Structure formats: C-alpha cells, structure tokens
Amino acid sequence: MPPMTHPPPPEAMADNLFGDLSRSTAENGQNCERLTELLAHPGVRIERIVSTGQCSPPGFWYDQAEGEWVAVLSGEAGLRFADESEVRHLKAGDFVDIAPHRRHRVEWTAPDRPTVWLAVFYTA
C-alpha cells in the first residue's frame, strides 16, 4: 500500500490587527469606518472595524440574523441596546456577545483616536 499523502496546508495570512489605522475617507471627503474581513468560513466570519468618531445614523438599529461577539481592542465606544435604558461605555478589553436579532446601535466612538473592534459573526 502506498504511503498516504496530504495536501499542503493553505498559506497562512500574516497581518496585524493594529496595522494601518489611518483614517479612511469617502468620495465626499467625510471620514468613514474601515471594515476588513479577516476570516470567512461557513458559520463564522471575523472582521476588524476601525472607527474614528463614527456612530449609527439617527433612528438606525442593527437587527442581524447572526450572532455577533464583539471586542474593543483600542479606543472607546458607546453601544446601545434597544432593550436597555443606558448606553454601555466600552473601552479597550471590553467585549459583549450580541444575540441574533437583538437590536443595537453605536451611539459614539472616540473622535480623537481610532477605536479598533474585533467582531466575530456566527450562525446561532
């Protein structure tokens, strides 16, 4: 019997979560968030989000079909849930698991420095 062979592992992508935190601008010259998909597989997606003073538009609520575990790696943000009366003040190291269809919004992010989020979206 010939020896078993295995396909070579896929190339590993090396990068840095804090690399290139420069502000991104839209065509109209306004600052915008930078979203980078780091990993996507069936049932899970990981994104890095860099905010520089952005927030959800007035009256807008996220209502996602998938769960989202999110951590603030640097900076600060205010996260609001429709079913809570107070805004949660998140700072570096804070994380929260958001159940599918739990309405939430970003009230504010630090305007003077990047807020770096790590978001893990998953099928619940």
Banded pLDDT at 8 (limits 50, 70, 90): low
Residues 84-117 pLDDT 10s: 999 999 999 999 999 999 999 999 999 999 999 9
- Domain regions of the chain by residue span: 31-122
- The CATH fold of domain 31-122: Jelly Rolls (2.60.120)
Q: Which tokens sit at 65?
A: 């079909």
Residue type at position 68: E
- Can you tell me the distance from the alpha carbon of 58 to that of 107, in angstroms, rounded to the nearest whole number? 9
Determine how β-strand 88-91 pairs with β-strand 95-98: unpaired
* pLDDT, position 19: 82
73 φψ region: left (φ > 0), alpha (ψ -120 to 50), beta (else): alpha
Instruction: Please name which of 77, 68, 73, 76 lies closest in space to residue 102, comparing C-alpha atoms.
Output: 68
Q: How far is CA 48 from the centre of its chain?
A: 5
pLDDT of 18 higher than 80: yes
Instruction: Please name which of 122, 92, 89, 93 lies closest in space to residue 108, comparing C-alpha atoms.
Output: 89
Banded pLDDT at 7 (limits 50, 70, 90): low
Share of the chain above pLDDT 90, in %: 70
